[in-house]
Chain A
Amino acid sequence: MVMGSLAQETEIAIIGGGPGGYVAAIRAADLGREVTLIEQREQLGGVCLTEGCIPSKTLINAVDLIYTARQAKRFGLNFGEAQIELDKLRQWTSSVVSVLTKGVAGLLKNRGVEVIKGRARFTGPNELALEQSDVGSIKFRHAVIATGSRINELPEAYDLPVWTSADALTLPEIPQRLLVVGGGYIGLELGLVYAGLGSRVTMVQFFPHLLMGADQDLVAVVVKNCEKRFEAIKVESKVTGLEKSSSGFVAQIEHLGETTRHEFDRVLVAVGRKPNTDTIGLDILGLSPDNHGKLEVTEEGRTSIPHIYAIGDITPGPMLAHKASREAKVVAEVIAEQKSGFDNRAIPAVVFTDPELAWAGLTEVEAEKTGRKVQIGRFPLTALGRARTMGRTDGMVKIISDPETKLVLGVGMVGPHVSELIAEGTLAIEMGATLEDLMVTIHPHPTLSEAIMEAAEVAAGQPVHINPARK
């Protein structure tokens, strides 16, 4: 800003203001570093705050109330059918987003992080050029790439007014018939939101299961509920053609070689995300992403150029906000010359379906794939007092342990509020806890958390509330 120049200099340039970028900025600033954060959007917070985690969970929470109220009929409480005021629901969602993004802006400001609006691209190993910005270029000593990911497009839907997850989250309307393409967590979460608001939802999944990557015994519980709420779930199916029709869309859906035509009012495409590594000038640095567009990094978060770091959705591993934030803290600490590294044992994954699904660490699928011997304890919520009191016994907790050392290797769960419970499982894995550690820790009664203790007991062969396996 001095002497009439538009070229700026900073110690650390962070590209992207998502849960990766903004957290790195705050941590680095708190460690006494000079930080400039570059974000192309008006709002800070990245995909997570503006069109991901936060708006989706706001809607899911609201829609869950509809289901809960319906269920209450069983308890003798009749609320009638929900009157949906779409405008208010939209306002509510955007007010939640707005409070949080402003909060992020405030945190950055208070930490003395300079936030520059603009689109950054590398022009050299120590320089970025900015577009759509008041600032022309930024010189830096260290750069953190936190550019996140964007929505994958469906070739069949090019140029058609289909919805992306970002569109769907703005609640443009409640279509009567909604086709959801993609049976991953985003498709499922949003499918359930629209089903709850009254749409008849058809889900098409290319793979043989929904939520590939999760253990299918857990997924089955979710699928069972989705089957009730969705019009149809078509696995091993593919949308091979999509056309605009007078009333909406006509989709050709192929299943095991057979093609059928179906009409929908709206189509939501949720077929994954791709890392934003292709438009930021990495070629100039000589950095090349892998086949999936991801940038390999060291434990310290460095790319093959030691003073350029990458975090979040653009690095290998699950595309999740909390992974981005942990990586962010690591790189900030490394840049501040602290000894730090991403050596986490488990990145919890949560799916906010109804019931919720969550896991951390080793899954059964992985154990099978790698031929690793494990001891598994499953505890069904049907045997849990708290689940009974809630009228929600659809679920279980399972603990995967080492048969010899009893080390907790993985935790998986499905049921109400397991998004909150998974943290205990994650901590257990991080701490190197054994089944014993979980078993002797007193869990409050009656709570869902007892299921973790019980599942550990099952794994250790000492269950109380279910019958032990006969020897």
Chain B
Amino acid sequence: MYEFILPDLGEGIHEGEVLKWFVRPGDTIGEDDPLVEVETDKAAVTIPSPRGGKVVSVQGKVGDTINVGDVIATIDDGSGAAAVAPPPREAKAHTRVETPASCPVAEAAGMKVRPKTAGPVPAAPATRRLAREMGIDLKHVPPSGPARRVTADDVKNFATGKSAGAAAAPRAEKTEKIDRQAEAEFAAHAASAIPLLDIEPLPDFSEFGPVDKEQLRSIRRKVARKMVTSMILIPHVAHMDEADVTELEEFRKREKQRREGRPGGHLTLLAFVVKAVTAGLRAAPRFNASLDPFKEEIIYKKYYNIGIAVDSGKGLVVPVIKETDRKSIIDIAANIEDLATRGREGKLEVADMRGGTFTITNVGVLGGTGMMPTINYPEVAILGMGGVQEKPVVRDGQIVIRKMLPLTLAFDHRIADGADAARFVGEMVRQLSDPNLLLLET
């Protein structure tokens, strides 16, 4: 008579739930035939019978919990009086670090097992890697090599269920879980608690057609963050107008021809706009400010540093022209030239980007009639320049053709109102319409 005690299931598992008995009392069972299937919190384990014989009794109905160390079956193996086999508990004495070199279940079942040696399972590093990739714990893989070395083939056979004990092996899924947890934590960290804001995971677009993926990186990600911050934090209002730059363009082209090649000689319309903006900011200091929402105070900047949005090839960067109130248009043009070149070459330094108070984006040179720019947080306003176009306009009751520059000022409605913007832009339009005024008033 043989009393079968539920063996140690490994990994500190002390109990399991009976899923299925493969035999009933009275049945005959062969050695190594499946006896019972037990579910632990790690995996479902099929436990084979260590002895062959007639099943006398089984303990535990399907759904019952059975404990390691309990007698779960009695088998008449012809050995006479009931002799309780010593519970194969040794494995438990090992600490986590010194994992036993054998699979306790298989061992209890009388399968061919390694004698216990301290230390890790012998296997080549590449084999270990393979097992790790397949989520297999080496100590459950029956070895075929000398000195009970586990080979790569052993691991593959185990994975495909060709080797004994395969079904019983709990798979290692721990690492996966941790990864996802870290991801989730990061997402939670990043998401803000805005009521009704509902950011759901994206669908799997590849279901609908082929896709490519690219990580949101460096400048692109920085821009993304800035834009979201700006759009969520700042109530944007846009004010639009057009400046008649016919005379200014004539003047600019003449001067440009004369000066080309000299510093600042590459006179662009942007240089004039920077100057006009500066004059506008002096008259309307609210557009040269920042709002500290925590302290609830408006910070007026007594300096005028105009940022210019530049397409750097790697993404949007905003180098800053410093102290535009103290510079001539030629100086400003020289500055723009330098920053734009370095921007395109990716040679801008941190210092070049710091300290801006107002930003101009000149997408117009690339085409388009107008745009709604996003404020460069924590500034208060941004001016978008459209492309200069010849348009029929009415002057003194006559339709004439003039060169028109569309302007859009997006501003922070927390600090400024529509009337402020209308005055600010109106003033700029007036100055850009007459080069003499720029000369006189800025």
In the assembly, what is the distance between CA of A142 and CA of B348, in Å? 27
A467 adjacent to chain B (CB < 8 Å)? no
Closest-by-CB residue of B relative to A432 is: B122
Compute how far the CA of A243 lies from the CA of B220 in the bound complex, rounded to whole angstroms.
61
Q: From B122, which residue of chain A is reached at the shortest CB distance?
A: A432
Query: Nearest residue in A to B319 (C-beta to C-beta)?
Result: A4
Q: Interface digits, B175-186 against A, CB 8 Å rule (1 contact, 0 not)?
A: 100110110011
CB nearest neighbor in A for B133: A339
Interface residue? A345 (CB, 8 A)? yes
Q: How far is the CA of A289 from the CA of B118 in the complex (A)?
A: 28
Q: Is A272 located at the chain interface by the 8 A CB criterion?
A: no
Q: Closest approach, in angstroms, between the C-beta of A291 and any C-beta of chain B?
A: 19
- Contact residues in B for A306 (Cβ distance below 8 Å): 178-179, 181-182, 185
Name which of B146-154, B254-262, B398-406 contacts chain A.
B146-154
Contact of A405 among B148, B318, B348 (CB under 8 A): B148
Mark the stretch among A5-13, A94-102, A225-233, A279-287 that contacts chain B: A5-13
Dominant secondary structure at the A interface: loop
**Interface 1/0s, chain A 3-36, versus B by CB < 8 A?**
1111001110000000000000000000010100
Q: Is the CB of B128 within 8 A of A11?
A: no
On whether the beta carbons of B120 and A404 are closer than 8 Å, the reply is no
For the complex, what is the distance from the CA of A190 to the CA of B315, rounded to whole Å? Answer: 53
Q: Which B150-195 residues sit within 8 Å CB-CB of chain A?
A: 150, 175, 178-179, 181-182, 185-186, 189
Task: Report if A430-B147 is in contact (Cβ < 8 Å); known contacts: A2-B223, A306-B182.
Answer: no
Contact between A4 and B353, CB atoms less than 8 A apart = yes
In angstroms, how far is the closest chain B Cβ from the Cβ of A75?
Answer: 43
Which of B211-219, B278-286, B333-341 is the contact stretch?
B211-219
Tell me, yes or no, whether B302 is within 8 Å of chain A by CB.
no
- A436: which B residues are within 8 A, CB to CB? 146
Q: How far is the CB of B404 from chain A (nearest CB, A)?
A: 30
Q: B residues within 8 Å of A by Cβ?
A: 115, 117-120, 122-125, 128-129, 132-133, 135, 145-150, 175, 178-179, 181-182, 185-186, 189, 215, 217-219, 221-223, 225-226, 307, 315-318, 320, 348, 350, 353-356, 376
Closest-CB distance, B307 to chain A (whole angstroms)? 7
* Chain B positions within 8 Å of A420 at CB level: none
B226→A3 contact, CB < 8 A: yes
Residues of B within 8 A of A323 (CB): none
A430 and B222 alpha carbons, distance in the complex (Å)? 45
The answer to whether B120 and A407 touch across the interface, beta carbons within 8 angstroms, is: no
A234: CB under 8 A from chain B? Answer: no
Chain A nearest CB from B159 CB (Å) reads 14
CB distance from A416 to the nearest CB of B (A): 29
- Known contacts A1-B350, A306-B178, A431-B125; is-contact A9 B119 (Cβ 8 Å): no
Q: Once the chains bind, are B215 and A11 in contact (CB under 8 Å)?
A: yes
**Residues of chain A contacted by B117 (CB below 8 angstroms):** 402, 404-405, 407
A430 contacts B124, C-beta separation under 8 Å:
yes
- A409 vs B119: C-alpha distance when bound (angstroms): 9
Answer yes or no: A372 CB below 8 A from chain B CBs. yes
Residues of A within 8 A of B217 (CB): 11, 34
User: CA of A409 to CA of B122 in the docked complex: distance in angstroms?
Assistant: 10
Whether B124 pairs with A3 at a CB distance below 8 angstroms is no
Are B355's CB and A4's CB within 8 A?
Answer: yes
Residues B222 and A2 in contact, CB atoms below 8 Å apart: yes
Known: A2-B219, A141-B186, A345-B120. 5 other contacts (CB 8 A): A2-B223, A11-B215, A300-B175, A406-B146, A409-B119
A126–B307 contact, CB under 8 A? no
* A117 interface hit (Cβ, 8 Å): no
Residue of B nearest to A33 (CB): B215
Complex Cα spacing A77 to B185, Å: 71
Taking a contact as CB atoms under 8 Å apart, the answer to whether A3 and B350 are in contact is: no
Please list the 9 inter-chain residue pairs (A to B) with the smallest Cβ-Cβ separation, ordered nearest first. Answer: A432-B122, A405-B147, A4-B353, A407-B147, A2-B222, A432-B149, A307-B182, A4-B354, A306-B182
- Of chain B, the residue at the smallest CB distance from A8 is B222
CA distance A134 to B354 in the complex (A): 12
Q: Does A343 contact B (CB under 8 A)?
A: yes
A432 & B182 in contact (Cβ 8 Å cutoff): no
Q: Which residue of chain A has its CB nearest to the CB of B316?
A: A2
Q: Which residues of chain A come closer than 8 Å to B181, judged between CB atoms?
A: 306
Q: List residues of chain A with CB under 8 Å of any chain B CB.
A: 1-6, 9-11, 32, 34, 125-126, 134-135, 141-142, 300, 302, 306-307, 334, 337, 339-341, 343-345, 370, 372, 402, 404-407, 409, 430-432, 434, 436-437
Q: Judging by beta carbons under 8 Å apart, are B350 and A34 in contact?
A: no
Most buried by B among A11, A142, A436: A11
CA distance A434 to B222 in the complex (A): 56
A-chain residues with CB within 8 Å of residue B135 when the two chains form the complex: 339
Write out the residue numbers on chain A whose beta carbons fall within 8 Å of the beta carbon of B178.
300, 302, 306
Q: A1-B317, A431-B125, A432-B123 given as contacts; is B222 within 8 A of A9 (CB)?
A: yes
Please judge, given known A-B contacts A302-B178, A409-B119, whether A5 and B353 are in contact too, CB under 8 Å: yes
Complex formed: what's the CA distance from A372 to B119 in Å? 11
Contact indicator A134/B350 (Cβ below 8 Å): yes
B221 touches A370 (CB 8 A): no
Contacts of A9 in B (CB 8 A): 218, 221-222, 225
Bound-state Cα–Cα, A32 to B118, Å: 39
> Please, could you name 19 A-B residue pairs with CB atoms under 8 Å apart, sorted by A?
A1-B218, A1-B222, A1-B317, A1-B353, A2-B223, A2-B317, A3-B226, A4-B354, A5-B353, A32-B215, A126-B186, A300-B175, A340-B129, A405-B146, A407-B117, A407-B122, A431-B124, A432-B122, A434-B149
Residue on A with the closest CB to B230?
A: A3
- Please indicate the chain A residues that have their CB under 8 angstroms from the CB of B320 in the complex: 4
| A3–B317 CB distance below 8 A | yes
> By CB atoms of chain B within 10 A, which of A141, A302, A340, A343 has the most?
A343
A191 to B186, CA, bound (A): 51
For B132, B133, B355, the residue with the greatest tally of chain A CB atoms inside 10 Å of its CB is B132
Residues of A within 8 A of B225 (CB): 9
A3 engages B376 (CB within 8 Å): yes
CA–CA, A339 to B135, complex, Å? 9
Contact between chains at B185 and A4 (CB < 8 Å): no
Please name all residues of chain A whose beta carbon is closer than 8 Å to the beta carbon of B133 when the two chains form the complex: 339
Distance, CA A306 to CA B146, complexed state (A): 38
* CB neighbours of A404 from chain B (8 A): 115, 117
Residue pair B318, A3 in contact (C-beta under 8 Å): yes
Hey, which chain A residues are within 8 Å of B123, CB to CB?
432
